[in-house]
Amino acid sequence: MRDALLACLDRKRDMVIDLQRELTAIPALGPDNGGPGEREKADRLKTLLAGMGFPEAREINAPDPRVPCGHRPNLAVVIPGADTSRTFWIISHLDIVPPGDPALWRSDPYALVVDGDLVYGRGVEDNQQAVVSSILLGKALLEEGVTPPINYGMLFVADEETGSKYGLDYVAAHHDGLFSKDDLFLVPDFGLPTSEMVEVAEKSMLWYKITVNGRQCHASTPEAGVNSLAAASLFVLKIPKLHERFPAKNPLFQPANSTFEPTKKEANVDNINTIPGRDVFYVDCRVLPEYSLDDVVAAIQGFGREVEAACGVTIDYAVVQQEQAAPTTPEDTPIVRKVMAGIRAVYPGAKPRPMGIGGGTVAAYLRRRGYPAVVWATLEHNAHQPNERSSIAKTIGDAKVMAHVLVGE
């Protein structure tokens, strides 16, 4: 069974190119990125899958009045297995990001270019490589007449690039029995060219805006004002003390500790001879999952009270983004073990290992609902860049890893 599928996948180079060309030609931009959504791309994909003999797609449409059709389409396609109570899900997304400056592209972003093993175009890696890999495996099952041990499910979601409110978050909340606790979930939307990163954990993320209010005056009479820049500078110097409050380390992550970094600084006054009365800066916090972001906020505000007392300023706070980490997928779960075994079998010399990352992925929407999920793919790591590219060989290789997960030995 497995060998027949792998041999079939080896013959799918032309199919990779054809699918990538079809998908790249449709700019599935969400309304937050100035586009009409994913409807046209979803319809084209449904037509392509029907022509290949796949079962009919189930639509889970998230209402969104900002797009012409009034919703954001999410498609689920399932090939039944011998055990129909469980499903191996490959979850990929249909939306893309804008191309950016066209002068930085060597070709039309929406017209596929093939150069040896690489294809170029907006979306070819993020996330059409995953879309195509999942279709390749499904097509191989149909061509070879293989009934997998469990169901094989492909889920194509909307809105990954702008928050997933209308995508996987919506599907996970409104799936009506689509998922079960015994299912296997793979999200091929992050990874390294070496294939070795098997993402099972994420840090919590906090973007915090801090506004220091003093009193503006002429720089020659500082006693008439309260220098907000001096107070903000004192506050910035206190931020590294968060490492002492939250000192834990976790070897899944690199770096292994939580990070707390002052980043953006807004302009205050335009001229040199004015003491500013208002300063605004931001802090980016990536926090290990065992800590509560509410505790981090409380610690920062504690520093702020010290600055207020020392400098005579008042300080306001605003959360720009706050995302408490989802539970970690345990390393001994079947999906982690199966993915790592598949990587070793398909990519000789690769040494896959469970890892955590500092940012969020859509897998969090599954993990929060008790579904262990893995984020993994073998990517060129150039998403969102001009001249985005994807490897044909790695698209096929990733489909082979998926085959190992599905059918095993």
The span from the CA of 408 to the CA of 198, in Å, is 18
Q: Which of 160, 189, 196, 202 is an active site residue? A: 160
CB 335 within 8 A of CB 298: no
**What is the DSSP secondary-structure string of 181-246?**
TT-EEEE-S---TTS-EEEEEE-EEEEEEEEEE-B-EETT-GGGSB-HHHHHHHHHHHGGGHHHHS
Taking the C-alpha atoms of residue 128 and residue 17, their distance in angstroms, rounded to an integer, is 11
- φ, ψ of residue 285 in degrees (nearest 5): -115, 125
List 38, 95, 159, 169, catalytic entry: 95
Q: What is the separation, in whole angstroms, between the first and last Cα of the chain?
A: 8
In the residue annotation, 95 being an active-site residue is answered as yes
Task: Judge whether 181 and 165 are in contact, CB under 8 Å.
Answer: no
Q: Tell me how far apart the alpha carbons of residues 191 and 201 are, in angstroms, rounded to a whole number.
A: 13
How many other C-beta atoms can be found within 10 angstroms of the C-beta atom of residue 321?
10
Question: Per residue in 223-241, is it b (16+ CB within 10 Å) or e — as a string?
Answer: eebbbbbbbbbbbbebbee
189 catalytically annotated: no
- Any residues with CB less than 8 A from the CB of 390 and at least 6 apart, and which? 20, 118, 119, 124, 125, 128, 129, 379, 380
Question: Can you tell me which residue has the tokens 């939580």?
Answer: 258
Kind of pairing, strands 75-79 and 184-187? Answer: unpaired
Encoded tokens for 262? 């002052």
Q: Which residues are catalytic?
A: 95, 160
